[in-house]
Amino acid sequence: MGAAFRLLLVPLMVVAFCTYDVGGRSHYHKKPPPSRHRGGGGGGGKGGGDSGSVVSSPAVPPVDDDTQPPPTGTVPSDPATSEPCVFDVRAYGAVGDGSTDDTRAFREAWRAACDADSAVILVPSDGTFTITTTTFSGPCKPGLVFQVDGVLMPPDGPECWPPSDNRRQWLVFSNLDGLTLRGAGTIEGNGENWWNLPCKPHRGPNGSTLRGPCDSPTLVRFFMSRNLAVEGLRVENSPEFHFRFDGCSDVRVDGLFISSPANSPNTDGIHVENTERVAIYNSRISNGDDCISIGTGSYDVDIQNVTCGPGHGISIGSLGVHNSQACVSNVTVRNAVIRNSDNGVRIKTWQGGMGSVSGISFDTVVMENVRNCIIIDQYYCMDKRCMNQSTAVHVTDVSYANIRGSYDVRSAPIHFACSDTVPCTNITMAEVELLPFSGELVDDPFCWSAYGLQQTPTIPPITCLQEGIPDSLLDNPDLKCR
């Protein structure tokens, strides 16, 4: 075989690899469709990398207008690299009419794309696709993108949920390295019938809660994966948590719009647990529970340019339930807006726990009509019938700086309820200015077993912090984490 012929054959073989056999595979020649959303913020590239560290901070503040979520445009491929191969779910049999079960097509598209370098699974913009509980598992080839430009949703409520399917999760991405979930489309949770189960907490004068099975699915869960990017999606009406990251590392969330009604129970926007090196940027979250919740085993979490509300604010915890050890450290919340919420920035732990929460910074947070703007609660209890216990998760090295805005006068804007035996320590307050949204000033912050320093005059004044560190906390092995 001549040298010239061999040189010609090589590129032909490469082209054939991306076009032959699978049917659903094609070159990604066109640009992604434009965002359907308006406003500022969003964007950003994929997080993670060889160094394992979170990339630089965002530069765009959250949108103040309630009607405008951040943009959700997609990120084009690098022109210096080879074009990705696109696996359109319609080519694998998906119908996208909003009622046909397209689960099989999605699973087949995933299997094909998982085996290809720099593959894109495309959920096209002109369809509404329904699939049942599915785990998209790896390992897969590098550069995999799951692109949602249309509407993707689960069956409509518990009555339509297949009996054989897991009722605690819907989409699961497991054992992956380098996955990007993005798009200009919507993941719709169809959560209303789940919220109305008689076992769910109901609010209002006539609300009630009945005993019974109460499992509801988390909408999107990432499990035991790393180098993840979630960008630009609209996610709404989840039956329970909208996003959950378990056992992951090097995660970047950027430019999401998460929405569910204020009275939808347990619909946390983003939950992080046993996960490290997390960046959550440029997102708007309104829901019926915590805007962002951070569970045990979470380290190096950076939250910036996030707007929350209505909901329960940004929470660390709850931690230490059932006398467990809980460890959280190095969490930063910066340039956030929290409005019309039950809580602002909160740390909540159960009595009887062990471990510590440390290295927490809340910096430049605007509150608008928030009931409990700043709260540490080491007596957290779901039904207020919990037994008093002597151990607790130690809360230490917590900084509040440039916290300003308005509070709902039904509660004091600052509340530090710490353990008698494991007090909160090294709390620092600077440039805190909280005024009533309406009504008269409540100038009596609550402190119990709270130690720290008021670095500048605050409104209302914080005179209840104690100085020093109690001897009972020195060399206590129950308070040690890593």
Query: pTM, whole model, 2 decimals?
Result: 0.83
CA–CA gap between residue 238 and residue 235 (Å, rounded) = 8
Residue 440 confidence (pLDDT): 74
Query: Would residue 427 count as lying in a domain?
Result: yes
Residue 203 confidence (pLDDT): 55
Average pLDDT over residues 305-309: 97
Catalytic (active site) residue 312: yes
The answer to whether 233 and 182 have CB atoms below 8 angstroms apart is: yes
- The larger pLDDT score, comparing residue 442 to residue 64, is at 442
Structure tokens at 173: 């991405």
Whether residue 410 has pLDDT greater than 90: no
- The larger pLDDT score, comparing residue 482 to residue 184, is at 184
- Residue 317 CB contacts under 8 Å (≥ 6 apart), including other chains: 293, 294, 295, 326, 346, 347, 348, 349, 357, 380
CA–CA gap between residue 33 and residue 231 (Å, rounded) = 14
Residues 232 and 98 occupy one common structural domain: yes
Average pLDDT over residues 289-297: 97
The angle subtended at Cα 12 by Cα 11 and Cα 17, nearest 5°, is 95
Residues 337 and 477 occupy one common structural domain: yes
Query: Would residue 393 count as lying in a domain?
Result: yes
In DSSP terms, which residues pair with 427 in a beta bridge? 398, 452
Q: What are the pLDDT digits (tens) for 206-258?
A: 666 776 668 999 999 999 999 999 999 999 999 999 999 999 999 999 999 99
Q: What are the pLDDT digits (tens) for 76-93?
A: 344 344 577 999 999 999
Query: Would residue 4 count as lying in a domain?
Result: no
Residues 217 and 361 occupy one common structural domain: no
The angle subtended at Cα 465 by Cα 293 and Cα 414, nearest 5°, is 45
Q: What is the CATH number of the domain that holds 23?
A: 2.160.20
Whole-number Cα distances in Å, 240 to 224, 265, 280, 443: 20, 7, 20, 37
Residue 342 confidence (pLDDT): 95
Residues 323 and 245 occupy one common structural domain: no
CA–CA gap between residue 331 and residue 358 (Å, rounded) = 8
CA–CA gap between residue 194 and residue 413 (Å, rounded) = 33
In DSSP terms, which residues pair with 177 in a beta bridge? 226
Q: Categorize the per-residue pLDDT at 31 as very low, low, confident or very high, splitting at 50, 70 and 90.
A: very low
User: What residues make up the domain containing 447?
Assistant: 313-482
CA–CA gap between residue 11 and residue 17 (Å, rounded) = 10
Whether residue 195 has pLDDT greater than 60: yes
Residue 53 confidence (pLDDT): 33
Residues 250 and 337 occupy one common structural domain: no
Whole-number Cα distances in Å, 242 to 11, 354, 475: 44, 28, 40
Out of 271, 312, 394, 415, the active site residue is 312
Residues 224 and 321 occupy one common structural domain: no
Structure tokens at 96: 């996208």
Residue 213 confidence (pLDDT): 65
Q: Categorize the per-residue pLDDT at 442 as very low, low, confident or very high, splitting at 50, 70 and 90.
A: low
- Could you tell me the sign of the dihedral formed by the alpha carbons of 254, 255, 260, 262, in that order? positive
Residue 3 confidence (pLDDT): 44
Query: Would residue 265 count as lying in a domain?
Result: no
Whether residue 10 has pLDDT greater than 60: no
Average pLDDT over residues 420-448: 88
Half-sphere exposure of 254 (CA within 13 A, CB side): 26
Residues 332 and 243 occupy one common structural domain: no
Residue 391 confidence (pLDDT): 87
Query: Would residue 352 count as lying in a domain?
Result: yes
pLDDT > 70 fraction of the chain, expressed in percent and rounded: 80
Q: What are the pLDDT digits (tens) for 130-174?
A: 999 999 999 999 999 999 999 999 999 999 999 999 999 999 999
Residue listed under structure tokens 């894109």: 120
Residue 306 confidence (pLDDT): 98
Query: Would residue 35 count as lying in a domain?
Result: yes
Residue 182 confidence (pLDDT): 98
Q: What are the pLDDT digits (tens) for 50-74?
A: 333 333 334 444 444 444 444 333 3
- Taking alpha carbons only, the member of 237, 234, 229 closest to residue 263 is 237
Residue 78 confidence (pLDDT): 44
CA–CA gap between residue 358 and residue 228 (Å, rounded) = 25
CA–CA gap between residue 425 and residue 351 (Å, rounded) = 17
Residues 109 and 190 occupy one common structural domain: yes
Residues 354 and 447 occupy one common structural domain: yes
What DSSP string describes 143-157?
T-EEEE-SEEE--SS
What DSSP string describes 262-303?
TT-TT--SEEEES-EEEEEEEEEEE-SS-SEEE-TTEEEEEE
Residues 130 and 228 occupy one common structural domain: yes
- The larger pLDDT score, comparing residue 116 to residue 411, is at 116
Residues 251 and 317 occupy one common structural domain: no
Mean model confidence pLDDT for the chain: 84
Residue 265 confidence (pLDDT): 92
Query: Would residue 396 count as lying in a domain?
Result: yes
Residues 236 and 152 occupy one common structural domain: yes
The angle subtended at Cα 312 by Cα 306 and Cα 314, nearest 5°, is 40
Helices (runs of H) and strands (runs of E) counted in the chain? 3, 31
Residue 425 confidence (pLDDT): 96
ω into 99 cis (within 30 of 0): no
Query: Would residue 445 count as lying in a domain?
Result: yes
Structure tokens at 376: 């540490």
Residue 19 confidence (pLDDT): 31
Whether residue 9 has pLDDT greater than 80: no
Domain count, the chain: 2
Q: What are the pLDDT digits (tens) for 354-389?
A: 999 999 999 999 999 999 999 999 999 877 678 888
The answer to whether 422 and 382 have CB atoms below 8 angstroms apart is: no
CA–CA gap between residue 110 and residue 53 (Å, rounded) = 28
CA–CA gap between residue 256 and residue 308 (Å, rounded) = 12
Q: What is the CATH number of the domain that holds 469?
A: 2.160.20.10
